Amino acid sequence: MKVLGIDTSNMPLGIALVDGDVVKGEFITNVKKDHSSRAMPAIELLLRRCDVAPKDLDLIVVAKGPGSYTGVRIGVTIAKTLAWSLGIPIAGVSSLEVLAANGRYFPGVIVPLFDARRGQIYTGLYRYEGGALRCLEEDRIVAADEWARWLSKQEEDVLFIGADAPLYRDLFRSHLGERVHVAPPSLALPRPSELVMLGKQKERENAHLFVPNYLRLAEAEVKWLAKQKGEQNDGDQCSISANDHS
């Protein structure tokens, strides 16, 4: 079974092609460039170098978030379009789960994270048990200091993984002390080959029905909802005033 993996959910761009249990090729970059103009050329290049045509693919696996709203949307749109046009299923994997997979040999719990700005992080809690990655606490967006306080009560060594993990090293150490371990840079980026391996175990979904997991609304949507709520409140006040005068 030939599987294509796509991850554009954060700054790293990752593409992988797996045939059975063999990783045929993998493409990773970690630069501030637009995924919308680079993802498809990367997919085409990888398939061509591996002598695989799109019609040979059996499954598309995509990182479904959380992460950058635009990044998640780009990857999911490409994956859905490819799956629909090829008539093959799609499978989604948490972007945090993909990152947590890099902690395979850590004996404690694994905390993947992405910076969500304003002191917040996208994160979750994972552990390897019997060679399989298990989710202990589902993905969430949370204040970093709140998450640090919660983790301090678990009394286990913690491996923090992600390119943004060093930003919060001091905060976590202030709560967890020597139980804090930060993965080295070589393990800080999600591997698209791990994405595929995880995705092969996930439920297959119809491309039309597949939805990403943003965990929070885009800033534009938040502003729009706030505006609508404000207009509704103004309308309610007008109704009350009109009733008072009647």
Tell me what pLDDT residue 238 has. 47
Which residues are CB-contacts of 173 (< 8 A; sequence separation ≥ 6)? 180
Residue whose entry in the numeric block shows the structure tokens 């005033």: 241
Distances 83 to 19, 62, 115, 240 between C-alpha atoms, Å? 17, 11, 30, 53
Pairing mode, if any, of strands 2-7 and 59-63?
parallel
Q: Considering the domain 2-95+189-209 in this protein, what is its CATH number? A: 3.30.420.40
- Cβ count within 10 A of residue 153: 8
Distances 75 to 83, 165, 209 between C-alpha atoms, Å? 12, 23, 15
Per CATH, the homologous superfamily of domain 96-187 is: ATPase, nucleotide binding domain (3.30.420.40)
Ranges for all domains in the chain classified under CATH 3.30.420.40:
2-95+189-209, 96-187
Amino acid code (one letter) for 222: V
Task: Report pLDDT digits (tens) over 192-224.
Answer: 999 999 999 999 999 999 999 999 754 444 444
CA 84 and chain centroid, separation? 22
Tell me what pLDDT residue 216 has. 78
